Amino acid sequence: MDGCVFCEIAAGERPARVVLDDEVAAAFLDTRPVFKGHVLVVPRDHVETLPDLPAEEVGPFFARVQAVARAVEAGTGAAGTFVAMNNRISQSVPHLHVHVVPRNRKDGLRGFFWPRVSYDGDAEIENYAARIRAALNEPPL
């Protein structure tokens, strides 16, 4: 869709720290992460919300979300992940996207208040992206 930031990232037309890119989905580091290593997973085809995603694409898309959740844990050393999406309300970009946020006990995240952090520059953001990409290529435990 013209003008959609996530479509442009998925098409390679806009720079992003991509960790997964295949025929079903693209996944990349959030530029305003809740915690470092926060990844957004988007379907390659433009759909605005989960109800708009064709039924036959739900399984393949969520298989990518599952793989990214594993990789975020492995790549960041997190104890777990928070996986979430918004549909229209609080959806900053009108393209379906799933947040995969690394979590650790006592990390300060409370309810749905999402404070944001910043990376310490391009080298650190690329380091996180590389670690998650590498973990995506490892077989699940």
HSE (side-chain half, CA atoms, 13 Å) at 82 = 21
Residue in 127, 129, 43 with CA at minimum distance from that of residue 85: 43
Q: Which residue is listed with tokens 């979430």?
A: 84
How many CB atoms sit inside 10 A of residue 55's CB? 6
CA 70 and chain centroid, separation: 12
Q: Catalytic positions, please?
A: 97
CA 109 and chain centroid, separation: 18
3-state secondary structure of 54: coil
Calpha distance 102→69 (Å, rounded): 8
